[in-house]
Amino acid sequence: MPCPICQIGRSRLKLVTFTEVYGRTLVSVPNTPAWACDFCHAVQYDSAAISRIEALVGQAGPPPNRNRRHPVSSRQKPSLMSPKA
């Protein structure tokens, strides 16, 4: 499908590691399906996968890893547009 960000590139489905901060806990989910643009490299996570992750986090609460430090570069964090379509 065409990239919704730049309208130039093509988004391809691939598996990435989803990282998001819920409260004060960093949640990291490997092998999350996401659409990555081959032109601007914007990443949009698959909305179904995100719904599943948020349901899991909502039910169980964030995992107790508050004291663990992850060397995550914020540079790689994609800009999340809400994929409503």
Contact residues: Zn ion, CB under 5 A: 3, 5-6, 9, 37, 39-40, 42
Q: How far is the CB of 45 from Zn ion (least distance, A)?
A: 15
Rounded distance, CA 39 to CA 52, Å? 28
Q: How far is the CB of 79 from Zn ion (least distance, A)?
A: 11
* Smaller CB separation from Zn ion, 6 or 55: 6
Rounded distance, CA 63 to CA 76, Å? 22
Cα 49 from chain centre: 9
* Smaller CB separation from Zn ion, 3 or 50: 3
